[in-house]
Each structure stands twice: as structure tokens, then as C-alpha cells.
Amino acid sequence: MSSPDTPEVSATPVVLVGVDFGLPHFDGELEELGLLAQTAGLDPVARLTCKRKAPDAALFVGSGKADEIRMLAQMHGAKEVLFDQALSPAQQRNLERQLEMPVNDRTLLILEIFAQRARSHEGKLQVELAKLRYLSTRLVRRWSHLERQRGGIGTRGGPGETQIELDRRMINEAIKRTRERLDKVKRQRSTQRRQRERRDTFNISLVGYTNAGKSTLFNALVKARAYAADQLFATLDTTTRQLYLAEAGQSVSLSDTVGFIRDLPHGLVDAFQATLQEAVDADLLLHVVDAANPGFPEQIAQVQKVLAEIGASDVPQLLVFNKVDALAPEAQATQRQDTYELDGTPVPRIFVSARTGEGLAQLRAQLAATCISARTDGMTPGDTAELTGSDG
């Protein structure tokens, strides 16, 4: 609790808006957007959904629905409107004029959360690059006074250079500097990976939808203290530790990576390429799934989509259905099967609870078996017998 002398900082009240265009992943209750808003420190005070065949070119929702949103915001004292879909710069600007209050979209909200959560130098650089790219498309929104000129004596811009032109040039220069710094970090990471490869280390990366419990599982396996919380995007920075598998008689490299989410901004996928490279270069992906979330099939599909975007779709996967302690008994009975079909291909899966420890011994045994299989692949029968201690 805060002291009497410390003023309480109240969360900004916002109205959440979602438009159903008939796509299968539409969140009719706007639950995920609400969680994202709360994670960013906002207070959802009202929600509104509507159906359209296509976005309105000017206002995304049309003028009648925009007026309804404005009245709803006024009724609940909202200071901002938040859309579940990405808005174009022109739609955002027009909506702000119509609603007479700030309007933001899901893309900016995710960027803001990433900016709040990034801890490492690399993570901060990645978020900075993504925000700069986003901002570069929004200059038309920031500067309505395009007729204002800068130029002449003592200014960097030449005679007649408009404010928006100057800003665009400055942002492009900032993007270039940030990319150069990120490239340096990427080279350092490549050096570290090559060192691991020279040591013949088996590399495992944890991937999955945000809040599936990756960091909790990571901590349970390697007894680490990576930040883990029941919230979206608790982890942004990759953490790598050694995991000793007694059954295989060797240590493996285990990496905890950033979580994925529906409609993850492309700018973030590009910017986090250096971090996501851990997944691309892995020998095995532990795809962690929130088994207690009824929407887990859609979340699995979204993770597969991002893995394909970063070039990791061919890396072998083991599906880890986490949070089984939160499953009802009847749900456990229907779900507990040894495989799950990904794009028509059966993929092995295992059920665990990172919180209670249920299933972790089986997971370790499965990982050890995978390592032994990878180590013996291509060996002669004599080599295999020597490795396993068999007399043949």
C-alpha cells in the first residue's frame, strides 16, 4: 500500500472496440484486448463490438458507430478509445477528430507493453526500432500543420523543408542508428551460438503463446529465477541456462523466449529477429500450450504462423500442455492423448503443471530420450552399443 503522502496514480479509463469481419479468431468478449489494456496500465470501463463486411475507409467503423462510441466514452468518463484491430494512420486521425479524444490500436498497445517490459539492452533496442517504424507511418497524424515551414539560417533542413519532412528524415536516421546497434548485438549472439555449436550442445528453445507458462516451466526445469507472472508478455528478453538430464548423461542449453500473440505486429517480429533466432537455430522447440485455455487450438495456430514467419517451422517440436492442474477432470480425460495434429502431422505432446511439478519427470525423460536419439543418429551399431552400455 502507498503511504498517505504518496498520491495514487489512477489508470486511464478506456473504451475497448472490436469489429467482427467474420474471421474465425474474433474475440467477441474482447477478453484478450482487456488483458492487454490492463497490462499496459489502462482501465477498460466499457466494451463495444460490431459487425462489418469490410473496414470503412475513413473511420474503420462508419460514422454512425463512431458517434455511438463517442457517447459510450462520454457516459463512462473514458479518456481514450482502443481498437482491437490495426488502424491506418488516416483512420486513426479521422477517428480522433470525430471522437474528440485519443484513439489507439492493438499494434501500439503491444508496442507500449514491450517498451515497459524490456530489460536488456538488446530488448530495449528491439522495441525502440519497432516503435520508430510504427511512428514513421504516423507522421501525418502528429503533424496536421504541414504548411509550417522550417528552413533558412541555423536549421538543419534546407529552405522550404516542411516540419513533416524534417521529422521523417530524423526518424529515418534514428532507425538506421538503431538497426546498426542491433546488428552488432546480432553478431555477438551469432558468436555465442557458434561457441555452443562447437561444444556440440543440444539446444532447446521454449516457445508458445503469451502467458502459457513458459517462464514458470523454465524456472521449474533449471531452478532459475527468470521473471514469471500471470500476465501477458512477462518475458521479453531471452534467458539461456544449462539443463542437466541425468538419463542422457549430458547438459543441454535451454532458452526462454518472448511469447507470441494473435496479430503480433510485423515490426515486432522483424525487430525481435535477433531474439527469435534462438528458436530458428534450436535442435528442439518446446511449444508450451495453456491447456486450461479453451482457445488453445487457435493459440497453437498463431504460434505456428509466427514460427513460419521467422523460418523455424521445420524445427522439431514437442508440445507441452501446461496448467493441467487448472483443467476440470472431464477435460483431462478427453485431452490426454499422446499426440496432437499440427497441419495434419501427429506431433508428440506431454501434459505438465509447471506450478505443481506434475509431469516434469516425464518431460525430462522425454527430453533425455530425444537427446540420446539425436546423439546416436548416424552412428554405427557398435558406436550405439558403446554409448548405451549395451553388450549387443
- pLDDT grade for 7, boundaries at 50, 70 and 90: very low
User: Between 3.40.50.11060, 3.40.350.10, 3.90.1150.10, 3.40.50.620, what CATH number should domain 12-109 receive?
Assistant: 3.40.50.11060
pLDDT above 90: residue 258: no
Residue 238, annotated ligand binder?
no
Average pLDDT over the chain, rounded to whole? 81
Lowest mean pLDDT among 68-82, 184-198, 231-245: 184-198
Side by side, which strands form the sheet with 12-20? Answer: 42-51, 12-20, 80-83, 103-105
Residue 257, annotated ligand binder?
yes
Residue 281, annotated ligand binder?
no
Question: How many CB atoms sit inside 10 A of residue 335's CB?
Answer: 15
Say what the pLDDT of residue 271 is. Answer: 64
3-state helix, strand, coil in the chain (%, to 5): 45, 20, 35
- The share of the chain scoring above pLDDT 70, in percent, equals 78
Residue 81, annotated ligand binder?
no
Say what the pLDDT of residue 378 is. Answer: 45
Say what the pLDDT of residue 231 is. Answer: 60
Residue 137, annotated ligand binder?
no
Residue type, 313: S
Question: 50, exposed or middle or buried, with CB in 10 Å at 0-12, 13-18, 19+?
Answer: middle
Q: Which of 18-32, 113-127, 360-374 has the highest mean pLDDT?
A: 360-374
Residue 235, annotated ligand binder?
yes
Q: Are 99 and 72 in contact (CB under 8 A)?
A: no
Residue 292, annotated ligand binder?
no
Residue 94, annotated ligand binder?
no
- pLDDT grade for 81, boundaries at 50, 70 and 90: very high
Residue 263, annotated ligand binder?
no
Q: Are 351 and 336 in contact (CB under 8 A)?
A: yes
Say what the pLDDT of residue 272 is. Answer: 67
pLDDT above 80: residue 198: no
- pLDDT grade for 260, boundaries at 50, 70 and 90: confident
- The share of the chain scoring above pLDDT 90, in percent, equals 43
Q: Strand runs (DSSP E) across the chain, as ranges?
A: 12-20, 42-51, 80-83, 103-105, 149-150, 161-162, 202-208, 239-245, 250-256, 284-290, 317-322, 339-342, 345-351
Q: What is the pLDDT of residues 267-316, one digit of tens each?
A: 677 766 666 777 888 999 999 999 998 889 999 998 998 899 888 999 99
CA angle 80, 85, 91 (to 5 degrees): 65
CA angle 205, 210, 215 (to 5 degrees): 50
pLDDT above 50: residue 152: no
- pLDDT grade for 141, boundaries at 50, 70 and 90: very low
Of 255, 258, 247, 277, which is closest to residue 363 (Cα–Cα)?
247
Say what the pLDDT of residue 192 is. Answer: 67
Question: 82, exposed or middle or buried, with CB in 10 Å at 0-12, 13-18, 19+?
Answer: buried
Question: Domain 200-378 carries which CATH code?
Answer: 3.40.50.300
Residue 211, annotated ligand binder?
yes
Say what the pLDDT of residue 227 is. Answer: 58
Say what the pLDDT of residue 167 is. Answer: 79
- pLDDT grade for 386, boundaries at 50, 70 and 90: very low
